[in-house]
Structure 1
Amino acid sequence: MLDDTLLDDPAALQRADHDRALLALAGSGARVRTALRLADAAGLDRLRPDGRPRAVLVAGHGSALTAGEMLAALAGTASLVTPLPPTDAAPVPRADRATARPVFTAGLAWQLPGWAGPLDLLVISSADGGERGLVALAEQAYARGCAIVVTAPAGSPLAEAALQVRALPLPFVPAALPEDGAAPSAPGGSEPDLPAEDPAALWAHLTPLLALTQKLGVTQLPYDALDATADLLDAAAVRCRPDAAAYTNPAKGLAARLAGTVPLLWAEGPVAGAAATRFAAQLADRAGRPALAGLLPQVLTAHRGMFTGQLGAGADPDDFFRDRVEEPDPLHLQVLLLRHVPAAEPSGPSDGSGEPDGGPVEVPADDEGPRSFGATRAHRLAAAHDVRLTEYAGRRPEPLHALADLVALTDFAAVYLGLAAAHS
């Protein structure tokens, strides 16, 4: 059960938020600006590329890998962007366990594809910089003649290795928490080997990656797209702030809607698909909740068994007269449909990006506006099985800005859901 009273008590939310996740999310816009400034100071503004790389490989784990997936969504089919997840996990030598934080990620291993070579760019991104596997990957890439860029904390083993392999080093921007604030860690004090990520670390990984690929021509972003993204994240932090009442705070409303459900996160298009995948990861990391993400239209067949199974709204073949007073409320499906539907003409108050304020729009089920065939089928399938479907549409013309709006809303919702569920 969800403790609704916690969501409308800012002081209680602050006490429950032990690792300052809400504060970290509120500082996302500032981290984008800081990352841009430090990337320019590191030499990115002086970069004069001779053509575009054949492929961009993005190696990391957690939100660093998510940044690579988002880059692939934004680059589209015009450029080859390949996220590189870890392929193995090796034991950490006993002598290194005292300094490895956490031990499991320190032992992760990566492997370059066989085709990677001098025409390709490898971007390695880490919030810790202590992964031995990423250091080894940089050495592999150097031996193959790849161009290399490394985003890691200054002074970390990975940052030092970047100098040895002649990589362009870019700094990782940590969360600017108060002095009495603890570093982000796992909710509920779980095992130190499995800590939760800083929920806003995504922007510390994605910002230098986008600035780099914008310079290389891999992404066709407007010159001020990243500055405007920082403004949008600031506006989202105001809308989703802890002291905003639940009925006016879209993230709190979404968290309450997902409580006691098994979410199916459906998305239309690559931008919304990247946001849905991110939301599923955040629900697991911050709220300890499983969620299934997928793209329309194939997700309609991939998830069809869920509607007729035990989680479907009408799946209760037991005796109607059975006493259910002492039984917990059953879990039911909740479909969350994310779409990028650019508005034809921006209107309304501006948030500093030159585009209308307000973030993603919740689309009523009876909305008569144009929908794709896949989205129409999604609504019909949910209605036919009495499953609640909630649709959010990113209206901004620029895909990066629509992505920022969707990610900000769902990131805050995941944190609110985790805090309220843990407090109940």
Structure 2
Amino acid sequence: MFDDTLLDDPAALQRADRDHALLALAGAGARVRTALRQADAAGLAGLRPDGRPRTVLVAGHGSALTAGKVLAALAVTGCQILPLAPSDVTAVERGERGTTAFTAGLVWQLPGWAGSFDLVVLASAHGGEQGLIGLAEQAYARGCAIVVIAPDGSPLAEAALQVRGLPLPYVPPALAGAAGDEGHRAGNEPDLPAEDPGVLWALLAPLLALTEKIGVTQLPSGSLEAAADLLDEVAVRCRPDAALYLNPAKELAARVAGTVPLVWAEGPVAGAAAERFAAMLAERAGRPALTGLLPGAITDHRGMFVGQLASAAADPDDFFRDRVEEPDPLQLQVLLLRRTPGENGEHTEEASSAGHSVRRAHRLAEAHEVRLTEYTSGELDPLRALAELIALTDFAAVYLGLTAASG
């Protein structure tokens, strides 16, 4: 059973946070600023591109693929963004500690059409994946432009020089041994270490700085620095010693507990945040979630509203239920992520269509007595809106996981 009193006990949260996930999230803004400075020093400031690539392929795993999806949500029309997931896994030799990370055996393959008009970005927080090094060699043989985001001195960063790629630095967490930094979360499989929740921004910052330079994204001036400031602001609001009723992330964690959430989103920016939230719930809290974009999510998930999870929500406050012998049943709920920059009097056709989908979602939830809660960002800058939604939901997923670890 979920005990929300743990959320108001900073000492208990600190004890449960063995890999310093909250600290990693709090430092996300600083990592963005450091990454931008180091990327300029690495040669990005002097880059003079000849034109925009036909396709940007972002290869990696975990948060690297999420960064590719975020880029797809922010990219201009006319340039395709393709997150490139591993296609196979091979056996590898055991390391010094007797175990080998599963990720060390991952294999990536370029699409058959990839060539000199395309840019391949290889992103890794560790830089030791032989599959990514092999992909760099493939890209070089095809004549692709190559950029590598990896820790200095890692095999992948060194491989970038061999294939005439541009190496951009990966900024590690400030605290040695922080979440995912060559460590393992208690209870994890030895070859599947927990990922540092701040990895996303450490990879995304140099990626977006690059794509701004080559015209793939066209964000407002100073957008990345402004996003870093907003990450700091959300970290202050969601800090461990902020009471539950004043902390939006703790409130969201309490809302998700005991439910199977449908994380719906309106538009590509909120859609990227919804996918990230589902991934973080699985990674940090061990909880499943279904995601979908409006209006398609309404039909894709309509069967959930007439199943057992929906019916369990009919009378959650039954006074006569034995709460010892009968634990709280899992309930269905909808969490709707939205970006609402146009709700200041502007009435475009796109806004009208989106508003219709949102109203349909509310009607469906009300008709089946399923709770629906909206989480919105009114930021005009799409990157700041993304940062606001992701930071809130990241903290919520970590808090939910920590309460389970404390129990």
Q: How high is the TM-score relative to the length of structure 1?
A: 0.89
Task: Report the alpha carbon displacement of residue 329 of structure 1 after superposing the two structures with TM.
Answer: 1.1
Aligned residues between the structures: 398
> Equivalent residue for 1:406?
389
Aligned-pair CA distance for 1:184: 7.1
Q: Which moved more, 1:337-346 or 1:266-275?
A: 337-346
What secondary structure is seen at the aligned counterpart in 2 of 1:300? Answer: helix
Contact 2:179/2:196 (8 A) holds in 1? no
Report matched runs for 1:226-305 at 5 Å.
226-305=224-303
* 191 and 29 in structure 1: CA distance in 2 versus 1, 3 angstrom threshold: same
- The corresponding residue for 2:8 is 8
- SS of the residue corresponding to residue 238 of structure 1 reads helix
| Percent identity of paired positions between Structure 1 and Structure 2 | 69
Q: Deviations over 1:160-216 (max 9, x none)?
A: 111110100011101001689984755433222112110011001100000000000
Pairwise CA distance, 1:100: 9.8
Aligned with 1:418 (options 396, 401, 404): 401
Amino acid at match of 1:330: P
Q: What's the counterpart of residue 22 of structure 1?
A: 22
2:310 match: secondary structure? coil
* C-alpha separation in 1, matches of 2:187 and 2:97: 20
Report the Cα offset of residue 154 of structure 1: 1.1
**Contact 2:313–2:331 under 8 Å retained in 1:** no
Aligned to 1:79: 79
Q: Paired residue for 1:337? A: 336
- Equivalent position SS for 1:82: strand
Q: Deviations over 1:242-284 (max 9, x none)?
A: 0100000000000000000001000010000000000000000
Contact 2:340 2:379 (C-alpha < 8 Å) held by counterparts: yes
For 1:71 and 1:371, locate their aligned partners in 2 and report how far apart those are by CA, in whole Å.
22
Query: Which residue matches 2:191?
Result: 193
Aligned to 2:327: 328
- Structure 1 runs of 4+ with >2 Å offset: 97-102, 178-189, 313-317, 320-325, 343-346
Supply the distance in 1 between the matched residues of 2:175 and 2:310 (Cα, whole angstroms).
43
Partner of 1:224: 222
RMSD after superposition: 2.4
- Alignment of 1:68 with 2:51, yes or no, is no
Q: What is residue 362 of structure 1 aligned with on the other side?
A: none
Letter in 1 for 2:308: Q
Kindly tell me: are residues 211 and 402 of structure 1, through their superposed partners in 2, closer, same or farther at Cα, counting changes over 3 Å?
same
Deviation at 1:407, TM superposition (A): 0.2
Change (3 A) 1:78 1:401: farther
Q: Is the CA contact (8 Å cut-off) linking 2:333 and 2:371 kept in structure 1? A: yes
8 Å Cα contact 2:74-2:217 kept in structure 1: yes
* TM-score for the superposition, normalised by structure 2: 0.93
Partner of 1:45: 45
Change (3 A) 1:316 1:30: closer
Separation in 2 of the partners of 1:271 and 1:406? 9
Letter in 2 for 1:338: L
Deviation at 1:343, TM superposition (A): 5.2
Residue 40 of structure 1: CA displacement? Answer: 0.3
Deviation digits for residues 349-382 of structure 1 (CA, Å, limit 9, x no counterpart): xxxxxxxxxxxxxxxxxxxx99611111110111
Does the alignment pair 1:176 with 2:174?
A: yes
- Output one character per residue of 1:14-63: Cα deviation in whole Å (capped at 9) or x when no partner: 11100000000000000000000000000000000011111111000000
Query: Structure 1 pair 295/345, CA: closer, same or farther in 2 (3 Å)?
Result: closer
Which consecutive residues of structure 2, in runs of 5 or more, have no partner in the other structure? 346-351
